[in-house]
Structure 1
Amino acid sequence: MKVTVTVDGAARLGAEASRIAAQLRAEVERELQASAASGQPLDAEARRDALERSVRRLWGATL
């Protein structure tokens, strides 16, 4: 699975945009590893769910 992260306004946010992108990548990796460890197949729906949980955690952390 390849995840591309783009932060709107990245040019003016600079280092903050890089930090957000790195944090999201780490969250997605954690979710996918947890899904794989659970023994459930990583179908498209499972990957989408992992991505959604990651984004929700990151969104909550930045509020």
Structure 2
Amino acid sequence: MAELRKTGANEYDVVADGRVIGRVWNWHGSWSAEANGETHHNLKSRKEAISRVEQARPKR
């Protein structure tokens, strides 16, 4: 399960196992997610953005 660490007014690091695995942010009402060199824009919710970061996370 990932947790969020606030880094700015509308920006969060997504942390899992004590490491930052990506970040999510809100820009003019839509969410974006970045992880593993991939960026996804125009997401409907913070939950969807976090899900995108978790999906991009390398499997162990």
**TM range, smaller chain:** 0.3 to 0.5
**As a proportion of its length, which structure holds more helix?**
1
**Largest Rg, 1 or 2:** 1
Higher relative contact order (CA 8 A, sep 6+): 1
TM-score w.r.t. length of structure 2: 0.38
**As a proportion of its length, which structure holds more strand?**
2
